[in-house]
Structure 1
Amino acid sequence: MPPRRDGTVTVPFRKKSGQPDAFLGLFREGMSLVEATANYLDGPGRRESKCLPPQIALCYATESMRLTTRLTQLATWLLARRAVMNGEPMPPSGSANDPQQLPPMTRPAGSKGFESLPQQLRDLIEAGYRLHDKVCRFDGAERGVVIVAAHRHNAVASQVAQLQAAFGQ
């Protein structure tokens, strides 16, 4: 299913996953990234941010908030997915509490000062993007559809998505 006009990607859950081991690996990776990010931001990252020039410190604050928001959204998806695999009921699709809705993800195009941020923060940001991509690919593989990532412009993938929409796949 292609992204909606607002860039969101709907990810329907299934009661029984055909790939429980693959999901559990993805789940562990996601939770590990959340923990590593929290440890960095509360420890070395906090100390490093105090030594940055004001403009770079602002970029640090902005990017760390974006990262924590992204990881919170992905952790919510992973936890909801695990709950469904364990047979727990979920809110109806489309409701305000619907964890099936992945938010759009955009990579900032050259945030001012991004290259001056500490390398460990930049690595965590990139890992967050990769995790989002993996979640979308995992879901697409289970449903047998092509997921068009909202943060990339890919003419071929968008054409495939249009064909799928036109022919009801």
Structure 2
Amino acid sequence: MAIGPRIVASGGFDALYREGMALIEEVASYLDGDGRSDSRRLKREASFVYATESMRLTTRLMQLASWLLLQRAVNEGELTPENARVEKEKVRFSATPTERGGPGFEDLPERLRGFISKGDRLFERVQQYDKLERGGVPDYSPETEGGIADQLARLKAAFGRLKE
């Protein structure tokens, strides 16, 4: 078994799963409660941005929930990795905007902006886990001293010398 799937099946996934599901519940509660009253107090431009961003966030979180539930089913032996891959192919993650902001974004309620930020970070982590699960190496900046890419580069260099 490749190291990636073993890492995904480890306790790190459990923490990611709990965090993801908690965020989904928290966002749903906010949008159905305080978020409604927050959105009514916004100016027209910010109100449009609120509708757009809350829809994007909800879509993104539902995609993440699908991925998390599929991965949990694999980890618990309820689904084979091959079957999960087929199902995961049906879940297309929407792209994260390269930059957040624009007219009206800063006028959004702070809580919504916080949820958007948390959702983006969670999405990045899930993408890394997905890549690991597929046997790939996560995309971490090689410039980060002591980071995973740096450590992998050092291991490759060390094992490369051993083979010679």
TM-score by length of 1: 0.68
Which residue number corresponds to residue 3 of structure 1?
A: none
Residue in structure 1 matching 2:101, options 99, 102, 110: 110
Which residue number corresponds to residue 160 of structure 2?
A: none
Gaps of 5+ in 1: 1-12, 149-153, 161-169
Aligned-residue identity in percent:
42
1:51 aligned onto 2:41: yes
The one-letter code sitting in structure 2 at the alignment partner of 1:42 is D
CA contact (8 A) 2:57 2:116 kept: yes
Residue in structure 2 matching 1:145, options 117, 121, 137: 137
CA contact (8 A) 2:128 2:139 kept: yes
Q: 1:18 to 1:125 in 2, by over 3 A?
A: closer
Q: Which has the greater radius of gyration?
A: 2
| Alpha-carbon shift at residue 134 of structure 1 (Å) | 1.3
CA contact (8 A) 2:131 2:138 kept: yes
CA contact (8 A) 1:59 1:113 kept: yes
The one-letter code sitting in structure 2 at the alignment partner of 1:70 is R
| Alpha-carbon shift at residue 121 of structure 1 (Å) | 0.2
The separation in 2 between residues aligned to 1:21 and 1:96, in whole angstroms, is 23
Of 31-40 and 82-91, more deviation after overlay is shown by 82-91
| Alpha-carbon shift at residue 112 of structure 1 (Å) | 2.0
Structure 2 counterparts to residues 1-169 of structure 1, below 5 A: 14=5, 19-89=9-79, 91=83, 93=85, 98=89, 102-141=93-132, 143=135, 145-147=137-139
| Alpha-carbon shift at residue 127 of structure 1 (Å) | 0.2
SS of the residue 1:127 aligns to: helix
Q: 1:45 to 1:92 in 2, by over 3 A?
A: closer
| Alpha-carbon shift at residue 133 of structure 1 (Å) | 1.2
| Alpha-carbon shift at residue 85 of structure 1 (Å) | 1.0
The separation in 2 between residues aligned to 1:17 and 1:99, in whole angstroms, is 23
| Alpha-carbon shift at residue 76 of structure 1 (Å) | 0.6
The one-letter code sitting in structure 1 at the alignment partner of 2:71 is R
Of 30-39 and 130-139, more deviation after overlay is shown by 130-139
Alignment RMSD (CA, Å): 3.1
